[in-house]
């Protein structure tokens, strides 16, 4: 059996991080619909990009955005300021990137996730020290929901 020299071992170890990156799948594209004047939507998009997501944003009229929310299976009580689609799921509002990754890993039979309204302290709404407790809800295909994650409680 051949003996590895120190140089060969170091060369092999140097390749491992590159090989690991090549095997890691990139996150699916997040397609965001928002109105043109919403700064918190832009801040949420930046949060996703900082967490490794690729994002394609599109400004749409408010009425078209509302229709898109309803078509995705959301009820008005689930609505927030922007609506995103990723790998067959809807993501409504200021959902943390970690919860989107969990959704994609677990693949529940659901329409998607929502953070209703715009709670202070959620990603994209994290201006200053104000923090509202909030829940990330898993929206089932029948429109019902359940708590998926809770923050600041």
Judge contact between 123 and 97, C-beta under 8 A: yes
Per-residue pLDDT band at 130 (split at 50, 70, 90): confident
* pTM more than 0.85: no
Per-residue pLDDT band at 86 (split at 50, 70, 90): very high
Most confident of 6-10, 33-37, 147-151: 147-151
**SS3 readout for 44-68:** HHHHHHHCCCCEEEEECCHHHHHHH
Judge contact between 41 and 57, C-beta under 8 A: yes
CA–CA gap between residue 132 and residue 112 (Å, rounded): 22
Sketch out the chain's domains with CATH numbers.
26-151 (3.40.30)
pLDDT greater than 70 at residue 3: no
Lowest mean pLDDT among 6-20, 41-55, 92-106, 126-140: 6-20
Judge contact between 74 and 139, C-beta under 8 A: yes
Residues 6+ away with beta carbon under 8 Å from 101: 27, 51
């Amino acid at each position: 059996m051949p003996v590895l020299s120190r140089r060969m071992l170091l060369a092999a170890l140097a390749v491992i991080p590159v090989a690991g990156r090549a095997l890691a799948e990139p996150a699916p594209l997040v397609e965001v619909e928002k109105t043109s004047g919403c700064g918190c939507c832009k801040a949420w998009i930046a949060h996703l990009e900082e967490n490794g997501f690729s994002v394609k944003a599109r400004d749409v009229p408010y009425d078209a955005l509302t229709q898109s929310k309803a078509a995705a299976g959301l009820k008005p009580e689930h609505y927030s300021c922007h609506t995103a689609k990723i790998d067959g799921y809807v993501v409504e509002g200021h959902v943390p990137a970690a919860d989107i990754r969990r959704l994609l890993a677990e693949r529940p039979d659901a329409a998607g996730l929502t953070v209703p309204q715009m709670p202070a302290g959620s990603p994209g709404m994290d201006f200053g020290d104000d923090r509202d407790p909030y829940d990330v809800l898993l929206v089932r295909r029948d429109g019902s929901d359940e708590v998926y994650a809770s923050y600041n409680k």
